[in-house]
Amino acid sequence: MDDASIMEMLRQRDENAIAELRSKYGRLCAHIAGNVLSRREDAEECVSSALFEVWNNIPPASPDDLRSYICRIVRNIAINRLEYISAAKRGSNYTVSLDEIADCVPATPDEEISLSELADTISRFLRTQDELHRRVFVLRYTYGDSLADIARRCGMNEKTVATYLFRTRKKLKQFLKKEGYDYE
């Protein structure tokens, strides 16, 4: 079923929309949550919570890209769950990827700048990158994949992946400064 049909089902409050969402995006969401959380049960709970949140938010929300919308929700829920579970302990690969990007992206944007504006700016930046750099960046910072997984999926060496990410983060930081996100 296509996203437009699922969105219409959500607007009509048809409970079958949840089953369609789970069928279409369940594995992807489980992958994202699983990369953040170590326990399968926690990841499954995050996916269920994300589906419930989509159900509660649509309507009135009407995202242009349902896939990105649900991925962002499940990632945020999983990160919140990780923070709750770990309570200042380190032990997840995902916290490493968050630490990597923390130098580029302001953790709390200025009051004048919303998180959606920041996300739009990062999306504009990514559209300026070639497909491989963009894919490596998204796999790492959206899906939380490890360097080894990204290297395997993209047919690259792990060190090359690390170099791509380092250079892309450096370019992102410059791009954000140029866009007025000078927060240092």
27-67 confidence digits (pLDDT tens): 999 999 988 887 888 899 999 999 999 999 988 888 889 99
Q: Residue 111 is encoded by which pair of tokens?
A: 């009051």
Number of other residues whose CB lies within 10 A of the CB of residue 141: 23
Closest CA to 138 of 148, 123, 152: 123
Higher local confidence (pLDDT), 86 or 15:
15
**CATH code that applies to domain 94-178:** 1.10.10.10
CA 14 to chain centre: 27
Cβ pair 109, 118 in contact under 8 A = yes
Alpha helices (H) along the chain: 3-11, 16-36, 40-57, 66-86, 93-102, 115-127, 131-141, 147-154, 158-178
Q: Residue 53 is encoded by which pair of tokens?
A: 């949140």
Ranges of each domain in the chain? 3-87, 94-178
> Which pLDDT band, with edges at 50, 70 and 90, does 88 fall under?
very low
**CATH code that applies to domain 3-87:** 1.10.1740.10
Q: What is the pTM of this model?
A: 0.57
